[in-house]
Each structure stands twice: as structure tokens, then as C-alpha cells.
Amino acid sequence: MTDLSAIPAAAASKPAIAPAKEPFSRRMMPWLLLAPVFAVMAFAFVAPLLVFLEYSFWRFEYGKLIEDFTFDTYVEFLTDPYFHTIVYDTLKMALITTLCSVAVGYPLAYALWRITRPGLQKWFGLIIFSPILVSVVVRSYGWTVLLADQGPVNWFLQVVLHLPEPVRLVFNLTGVVISLTHVFLPFVVFPIYSTMTRLDPTLREAAMDLGAGWWTTFRRVTFPLTLPGLLAGAPISFTPARGAFVTPQLLGGGRVLVLPLQVFQATTDINWPLAAVGGIALLVLAMITVAVSNRLLRYSEV
């Protein structure tokens, strides 16, 4: 390594050779391919975002919009405990959903990985993937039926486990979390599963060979090495959960007020400034999520 420093000096004494440039058409190719995406992004994402940003500085008074430049809506959003509760509930819903997805998803991914029969594995994968195939409205009503006070889950709890009263499972946070976990599960399972399949199988054999049983092998080798998959999957659940609208609307029964619902309410009141600030808050939360998960991912990688 030490004599590497001598090489640039030797190279410098020779006439400088500039690296050959790729032909123009080839250099333009990637940009050409990206152009449609850029166009769509500019039209459908950046432009509305700028419009929303403008709205957020307007004023809403007595049911009327006033073009202005004021931070009043921001101040209101940041100081009013009503909005604090909404942000808190949003984060709580997203966090619990993510934890549940990971808690259910990791063992599921592990099982999928350990199934050695390819046919069985295919069916298993399809079952995990199935929530995505069902429309969000249908799925939500399905859960309403299942989790209702007279539904099969409560029947089981009361008749088999002899609970004295039905447990409230819908029209509150519990129902929303159950349904969201159900739909985000595949997004959590597949990143974890893919890190597992990329894991060198001889590492587990090496651990066992060195005297580790199943649990020690899992705890000290498999889990730390699949943690990046888990940390990649978690924000995939957290970010859409934070922005979920239909599920909290249908399964929350009006008791779960999260940011997307607040934004929707504001738009129906034509309170555009408040809707804009709520939307920007959602965006900021998403950015924080991405930043935090990237940081965690970097620590977890070997």
C-alpha cells in the first residue's frame, strides 16, 4: 500500500492523456429515457406542490379565502393542541402498524425462506401477497364484518375464551391498525425475505458447527445479517400508513382522526390554507422517516 503514492508522481511525468469521451448520442440516452418521468413529475408533483405551498400562506376567514402572505395557518397548526393530537395520533397509528407488520412479517419471511418445497413456497408467497389484490374498500368492509361486536372474532373470544363482553375491535385505532398491517405485510415481508435468500447458507452451518443451537444461530448470525431487510421494510410500511386515508375513514368510525382525514376535512370546508399546511406536515413526516431509516440502515449494514 505504501508505494502506491509513487504511482501518481510517475504518471504525472508522462504526457497527460484525457479519458476518451463517449459519443454525444450515448451520453444523452439516459436523459432521453428519463424525460417522460421528469415531465410527469414536474406536472403532477412539483407544480401542485408549489401551488399548495402558495395556498399555505393564504388566509381563510369566515368561509372565505383571502390571497395574502401570512404564517398564521402554520402558527395555528403548530400551537393548537387539536393539531398536536392529530399529528400524535397519525404517528402512533403509523408506528403501531409498522411494529405489527414487522412483528408478523419477520417470522413470515423466515417461514417462507425455510420452506424447501418450491411448490409450497409459491403458494405461501401468493397468500402473503394477496391483500394487495383486494381493493382497499372491500378489504376494509371485510374487516368491519370480521371484527364487529357480533363478528366471528368476538364470537371466538366470548364462546371459546369466555370473555364476558365483546372486545371493541372496529371503529377505533385497533381496527385501523389490524387492517393496515394486513395490507402492508407483503411490503415488509419481501425485503426481509430477499435479504434472507441472499444470506450465505453456510453461515448458519458454520454457526451450528461451532456449537450454536437454533436460537443462538438466529440471534447472533441470522437476525443481525437480515436486519437491513427489516429496516428497509419498516419505512415501506410506515410511510403509506402515515398517509392512509380510506382505512382510517372506514374502520375508524369517526374516532380516528389522522392527518390525511384532517386534510380532507379542510378541503371540504374549502379551507385550502389549512389543507396545504396539513399536506406539508405529511410530507415533512415522510422526509423525516426516510432520513431516519437511511441512517439506521447504514448502521445495520456490515
**Interacting residue ranges for another protein, rule: CB under 8 A:** 200, 202-203, 205-213, 216, 220-221, 224-225, 302
CB of 235 to another protein, least distance (A): 22
CB of 213 to another protein, least distance (A): 6
Q: What does the alpha-carbon distance between residue 33 and residue 271 come to, in Å, rounded to a whole number?
A: 40
Contacts of 195 (CB under 8 A, 6+ apart): 225, 226, 228, 229, 230, 232
Long-range contacts of 64-68 (CB under 8 A, 24+ apart): 65/270, 65/272, 65/273
Q: What does the alpha-carbon distance between residue 223 and residue 122 come to, in Å, rounded to a whole number?
A: 24
CB of 292 to another protein, least distance (A): 21
Rank residues 136 and 212 by Cβ distance to another protein and give the closer one. 212
Cell of 274: 389549512
Rank residues 165 and 200 by Cβ distance to another protein and give the closer one. 200
Rank residues 64 and 117 by Cβ distance to another protein and give the closer one. 117
The pairing of beta strand 64-66 with beta strand 59-61: antiparallel
CB of 207 to another protein, least distance (A): 7
CB of 225 to another protein, least distance (A): 6
Rank residues 18 and 302 by Cβ distance to another protein and give the closer one. 302
The end-to-end CA distance of the chain, in Å, is: 24
Q: What does the alpha-carbon distance between residue 186 and residue 238 come to, in Å, rounded to a whole number?
A: 13
Cell of 282: 405529511
CB of 227 to another protein, least distance (A): 9
Phi, psi values for residue 59, rounded to 5°: -120, 145
Q: What does the alpha-carbon distance between residue 66 and residue 57 come to, in Å, rounded to a whole number?
A: 10
Rank residues 70 and 216 by Cβ distance to another protein and give the closer one. 216
Rank residues 61 and 205 by Cβ distance to another protein and give the closer one. 205
Q: What type of residue is 53?
A: L
